[in-house]
Structure 1
Amino acid sequence: MKLHYKQQGTGYPVLLIHGLFGSLSNLGILAKHLLENDYQVISVDALNHGFSPRSESMNYQTQANSIKDLCDQLAIEQCAIVGHSMGGKVAMATAQLYPDLVSAIVVADIAPVAYQHNHQAVFSGLNSFDVATVTSRSEADQLLAHYINEPSVRQFLLKSLIKAENGWTWLFDVQRLSRCYHNIIDWEPLGVFNQPCLFIKGQNSDYIVSQQQLSTVQQFPKAELKVITASGHWLHAEKPATFNRLTERFLGTHI
């Protein structure tokens, strides 16, 4: 399966992988920052997202294999990977499965552990109406608001709402994501990655907690942790200057 991607620049390759319900544009501010610092940036649409292939499997071995296939396609022998949330797990899985390919990873607000279901309201909202029948983005927002209270979450989802020939459609595959959700929140270690790793936590987010430290260090012995104050799970969008600076400084030190 050939992932959809956007390749820019000519320096050391850095792959950027978005989170659940996102697309390759989500880390666009970081992409611009890295390009200004002479990196080659490959922004990726994950499986069942954006314009990448649809799949009935989203376990992390499958997703890591899709990243390896993309690197082979682009003749990339070694790279760094930055991933947010689900994309962070894809980065970790790829590093564990293909340590010769990956020189370093930056993981934004996710840990190498299994999580409990916490997207029920989002799926309920997405499944509550036929998106092809809505007449505007604002109408879709009103329909989602019956299930999703947070305007920021609705706005994030609406970034993936586009108008096609036959009406509005989501860039992500709602039904396949729902069927694959147990894979997305799950985690089974695929090895030990002994190269540099930076975990960046949003101070107000509960996706990385102290109880996960032992599991993280067992799988990533060289893991470092940074915390961005006054930020939540979407730390790269809430505090982009800080997130970009931490990421670029880490990459500049370790690759």
Structure 2
Amino acid sequence: MNGAQLLPVFVVGLAGSIHCAGMCGGIVTAIAVAPAHAGVHRTPVRILSMDSGVRRNDVGYVVAYNAGRISSYMMAGALAGGLAGGARSMATLAGMQLNFYWLANAMLIALGLYLMNAWRGLAVLEQGGRVIWRRIAPITKTFMPADTPRKAFTLGALWGWLPCGMVYSALTTALLSGSALNGAAMMLAFGLGTLPMLISLGLLGAHLQQAMRRRSLRIACGLLVLGFGVIGLARAAGGVTPDWMDMLCLTPHQ
């Protein structure tokens, strides 16, 4: 897998990250960060707070949190890619390969509509993910307040399993990556795409959130993601086949 194949995954993460700012206020939880050293007078900051207008000034804590979050994405991608890659020799999977390809691109279309708030079908998947999250959420309390970078990283790694339709869409693509390594690489690219938005949220909070509520911006980002899905389905149907389309397709065409 080369960088050209990872570029569209990065772009989808970048465009889809508006979901975190404008559409996940009821899901994303404010994480309080206490001073790293006792006796050092620093203003406590919040990482990924969707409600607070407090100024964020501790970039190190925000980066540690997001590094943990992306590490969880990579782990999930490795599991998805390894599961499908390990079973690839099975005739049943070979026969289902094209179906998975259609599913992955249909998920991108669903994500695009979700970002535009035109269709909330992915919310059903998020509800399913809450079954796992209910077991993880109590553990997060052990690391709060996150008064060290290690705690911030661990908290981010746990929060990486928060139910999110956008992440599930990316994982569907990772299923077709062919191996655990490729699956992890795809989710790394996706996570890096979300990084600019989430670091900015950690530092600017409510100010950025307010800007991301603009309907025109959500529609533009949603159309971009939806476009990737439409192009992928066109390739699957045989209507668009030039090699340069690899730059615009998230899933390998088998």
- Which of the two has higher C-alpha Rg? 2
Higher strand share: 1
User: TM-score category by the smaller chain?
Assistant: under 0.3
- Higher relative contact order (Cα pairs below 8 Å, separated by 6+ residues): 2
The structure with more helix, counted as a fraction of residues:
2
TM-score calculated relative to the size of structure 1 = 0.25
